[in-house]
Amino acid sequence: MPTLNQLTVHAAADLLARRACSSVELVRDVLAAIERTDRQIGAYLTVDAESALAQARAADAARAAGDARPLLGIPLGIKDLLNVAGQPCTCGSRILQGYVAPYDATVIARLRAAGVVFLGRVNMDEFAMGGSTENSAYQVTHNPWNLDCVPGGSSGGSAAAVAADEALATLGSDTGGSIRQPAAFCGCVGLKPTYGRVSRYGLTAFASSLDQIGPLTKDVRDTALLLGAIAGRDALDSTSLDVPVPDFAAQLGGDLQGLRLGLPREYFIEGLDAKVERAVRAAAAQCRALGAELVEISLPHSRYAVAVYYIIATAEASANLARFDGVRYGLRVEGADPIDQYGRTRAAGFGQEVKRRIILGTYVLSSGYHDAYYLRAQKVRTLIRRDFAAAFQQCDAILTPVAPTAAYKFGEKLADPLQMYLGDMFTIPVNLAGICALSVPCGFTTAQLPVGLHIVGPALREDVILRVGHAYEQATPWHREKPKAAKNRA
Amino acid sequence: MTSPDNSASDRIDVRYVAHLARMHLADDEVARLQPQLEQIVGYVRQLDELDVEDIEPTAHAIPVQNVFRADEVRPGLGHDVVMANAPLARDGQFIVPKIIE
C-alpha cells in the first residue's frame, strides 16, 4: 500500500471524493515525506507546514459541507518565482532575501479558488537562469535518481519534489526549457504551454516574450488537469490569449490512429547521447505501434536557436532585472549617491550567472550594437517560427529528445557557460516560436537516469501533445518507476 | 564613446557595459566574465551568416494587438502593503540617497 504522498493528483482527488482519505491525511503524508527525504534532496526552500495543514482542514470542512471541486485539498509545491500572498518569493536570489509576496499570481489565485493547498517554495536557479539549479543562492538540489547528479533547471526543485514524492505536483516556469529539461532529468512530466495560454501576472519576469508557467506532474493526466485549472485569459496580463480552454483531461484516451508525428532530421545529431537517442527512437517506434504515422521533417534554422535565445532572453532580462535597485524592495547596500547605491546593491545581490546575462543583455542592446545583435536575432526568430509553421503542414506534432544528455554531475558544466547553454538546444526553439511542448519519461540510461521524450505541438494544440503523451505513457512503464536514491542514503 | 559598426571585433568593454547596467563588478569578476562573454558573443555571431534583409523581426511569437480595458478606477494594493517590503521607508515614503545639495 503506497503512502498518500506517492499518489498522482487525479488518484488523490478520487480518494478525496470517495472520502477514502482526507486532505489533512494527504498533507501529513507529504509533510512526512519532506521531513524524511528533503535533507538529501533539497527541493524545498521553505515549507509552511502549519499553513498547509490549516488549508487542508479548511478543504476538508468545505468537502464535508458538500464542496466537490476536483482539486479541493490537493497539495502542490510552487517554484519560488510565483507570488503567493504572504509567502516568501526570493527567485533563488540574495537580492530578494526576506521579500514577502504582497499578492497572489493569477495562476495561484486560480488554484486557490480551486481549493489547492500550497505546501511551500521549491528551489530554482536564480531568476530562472540556468539548467542545473546550481545557480540558486540558497542551496543545492539533488536529483532523486542519483544524488550526485543535478536535477536540471531552472525548475529543479519543482522536478525533484515531484520525483521524490514530496509533492503531488508542482508549478514551474519555462523560458528556454526550464520545465521540460528538469522534468526529463527527474523522470516526471512537464508542460510548456503555448505563449499566452497561461497568465504571467505574478510570475517574476525573466524574458517576457518567452516565459510561460506550467505544471510538473507524475503523469500526463495530472498535467492536463492542472493546465485546465491555470489556463485562460486574464485581464492582468495583456499577452494572455482570449481563447476557449478545452477540458484537456476529458479529451485524453484512445490510440494515435490518424496522427502524423514528425522527426526533425536536424535534431538527431552529433553530440546527442547515444542512449538518449536510442530511447527517443524507441519511443517514436512505440507511437507508430499505437497507430501514428512517422514522417521526417526539417527545421533548418533550429541550429541558430541557442544564439538567438541568448541575445533575446538576456536583452529582456537586463531590462526586467533593472527593477532591483534597493529602493522599493529587496536588498539595499548604501552608496554615496543613487547610482553608487544601485551598483553596490546589484553587485552584492546578484550571483555570477545573473550578472553574466545582465552584462550580455545590456551589451546587445547598447548603442551601436542593437541592430547587429538584437534586431538580427529577432529576424532569425521569424525564420525559426516559419520552420515550425511549415513543419506543421506535414505533421500534427513533432518528436525530439528533451535534452542531448541525461542528468550530469554537479560542477560538470559550471565553468563553461556556453556548454550549459547548448544543453537547451532542443527546447529553446519552442519558446522562440511561442508554441507548446510536453516532456514525458521514455526510458533510462545504463546509469539508471531518466530520459525525456519531447512532444512539440502547434500553438494552442496542447490537446494534441497531451493525447500523444498520454497514449505513449499508458503503453509504457516509465512513469511508474520510482527513484531509490533518496531512500538508500537515508 | 565611438559608435562601433557591425564589423567590430568581439572585444567587450565589460566595465563600461557594467556601468550601463548599474552594477559594480570586482576586478576578478571582470577577469572571469571577459573571456566568457567574448566566447558567447563569438558564438552568437554565427547569425551573421544568414541573409535577413527582408525578414520581419518577431517581438512576440503570438501577435496580440491593441489590448484595451475600460478606463475605470479599480482597487489596487493598499499603500501599506506596497511599502511593506521597502528596505528603508519613512512616513509612507521610500528613502533614497540625497541627489541635490
User: Which pLDDT tens digit goes with each residue over A371-416?
Assistant: 999 999 999 999 999 999 999 999 999 999 999 999 999 999 888 8
Whole-number pLDDT of residue A293: 98
pLDDT in tens, A243-298: 999 999 999 999 999 999 999 999 988 789 999 999 999 999 999 999 999 999 99
Whole-number pLDDT of residue A46: 98
Q: Using omega within 30 degrees of 0 as the cis cutoff, is the peptide bond preceding A158 cis?
A: no
Whole-number pLDDT of residue B7: 41
**Residue A486, pLDDT above cutoff 60:** no
Whole-number pLDDT of residue B4: 43
Amino acid letter, A228 = G
Given the residues A23, A93, A132, A154, select the one marked as catalytic.
Answer: A154
State whether A332 and B88 contact (CB < 8 Å).
Answer: yes
- Which domains are delineated in chain A? 4-262+393-489 (3.90.1300.10)
- Among A194, A328, A362, beta carbon nearest to B17: A362
Measured between beta carbons, the chain A residues lying within 8 angstroms of B55 are 379-380, 382-383
- Identify the band that residue B10 occupies on the pLDDT scale cut at 50, 70 and 90: low
E strand or H helix that includes residue A293: strand A293-297
State whether A100 and B84 contact (CB < 8 Å).
Answer: yes
Cβ-proximal residues to A260 (8 Å cutoff; 6+ apart), any chain = A292, A293, A294, A295, A394, A395, A396
**What's the average model confidence in pLDDT over A75-86?**
98
Whole-number pLDDT of residue A487: 54
Whole-number pLDDT of residue A169: 98
Measured between beta carbons, the chain B residues lying within 8 angstroms of A377 are 44, 47
Cβ-proximal residues to A242 (8 Å cutoff; 6+ apart), any chain = A233
Cβ-proximal residues to A467 (8 Å cutoff; 6+ apart), any chain = A251, A252, A254, A256, A259
How many angstroms away from the CA of B30 is the closest CA of chain A? 10
State whether A376 and B47 contact (CB < 8 Å).
Answer: yes
Residue of A213, A193, A216 whose CA lies nearest to A203: A213
pLDDT in tens, B19-63: 999 999 999 999 999 999 999 999 999 999 999 999 999 988 888
In this structure, the dihedral spanned by the alpha carbons of residues B34, B38, B40 and B46, taken in order and rounded to 10 degrees, is: 170
pLDDT in tens, A331-344: 999 999 999 999 99
Phi and psi at A231, nearest 5°, equal -80, 165
For residues A161 and A188, the answer to whether their CB atoms sit within 8 Å is: no
- Among A100, A196, A306, beta carbon nearest to B85: A100
Whole-number pLDDT of residue B9: 59
**Residue A59, pLDDT above cutoff 90:** yes
Comparing alpha-carbon positions, the chain B residue that sits nearest to A308 is B44
Residue of A129, A49, A119, A34 whose CA lies nearest to A91: A129
Average pLDDT, chain B: 88
Positive or negative torsion for Cα A361, A366, A368, A374: positive
Three cell numbers at A271?
553530440
- Identify the band that residue A468 occupies on the pLDDT scale cut at 50, 70 and 90: very high
Whole-number pLDDT of residue A418: 84
Whole-number pLDDT of residue A327: 95
In this structure, the dihedral spanned by the alpha carbons of residues A237, A240, A242 and A246, taken in order and rounded to 10 degrees, is: -130
Give residue limits of the domains in chain B: 9-49
Comparing alpha-carbon positions, the chain A residue that sits nearest to B30 is A356
**Residue A436, pLDDT above cutoff 70:** yes
E strand or H helix that includes residue A420: helix A417-422
pTM over 0.90: yes
**Residue B1, pLDDT above cutoff 50:** no
Whole-number pLDDT of residue A269: 82
Annotated catalytic, A192? no
